[in-house]
Amino acid sequence: MALGGLTSNRESSCGLSRPNAKPRTVSGHTQTATTMTTEQRNKIIELCIQHIDEQGSVRVGWAAEKVLGQKPQHNMLDKVAAVMLADGQYVKDPANPNFRYDWNIRRNPGYKKEKWTERNLIAFEIIKGLITAIFSILVSVILTLKIVDNKQEKSDEKKSETELSRPTILNDSTHTDSSRH
C-alpha cells in the first residue's frame, strides 16, 4: 500500500486485484513495488550480503530499490529481513527514522555456526556406536585369527618333533629265534 491508503499496480485497498484499472498514484510520491519474485528476493539478499561484507551493514530498502528499480513496500522488506535472520547469522536494527519501515542488517557478533553433530545428536551417537562396534569386531577377528594361527603352528611343530624323535624299528631278518619254530 502506498501513502494515503491508495495503492498501485492494479491492487485495491483491500488487496484484491483490479485487472482493468490503471495504477493509482499520489501526486509527489513515487510508486511502490507491490510484488517480488523469489528470484528478485534472492538477488536482494545477495546484494545485502555483498554490501555487509564490504561495509559492515546494509539497509534492506536500499538493496531492494537497487534490484526492483522502485521503492518496495514495507512488507517486502520484512520478508527479505526474515529470510536473512532465519539462521541467526545476521541481526536487524531499525533503520534511520527517515526510513520508518526499513531495517539495517549486520552480522551477528555472537553467531557461532552450528555443527552437524550438534544439530543431529541422536544420529551422531548412533554413528559413533556403529563405528565402535565395527572396530571391536575387527579387533576380535584379528586376535582370533592370530590365536588360531599360533595353535596351528604349535601343532605343526609337535607333529614334526614327534616324527623326528620316533625311533626307527628295524626288521632284522637275519636274526631268527630258533625256539619259536
Q: Is the pTM of this model over 0.75?
A: no
> For residue 52, what are the CA distances in angstroms to 57, 114, 134?
4, 21, 47
- Kindly report, residue by residue over 93-139, the tens digit of the pLDDT: 887 777 777 888 988 888 887 788 778 889 989 999 999 999 999 99
Q: Which three cell numbers stand for residue 26?
A: 499520489
Q: Whose CA is closest to 108, among 95, 93, 96, 130?
A: 93
- CA dist., res. 181 & res. 57, Å (int): 124
- CA dist., res. 60 & res. 81, Å (int): 7
Q: Which three cell numbers stand for residue 94?
A: 531499525
Mean pLDDT of 167-177: 61
- CA dist., res. 46 & res. 95, Å (int): 19
CB-based burial, 7-41: b 16+ in 10 Å, e otherwise: bbbebeeeeeeeeeeeebeeeeeeebbbebeeebb
Share of the chain above pLDDT 70, in %: 69
Q: Cα torsion at 123, 110, 95, 104 (round to 10°)?
A: -60
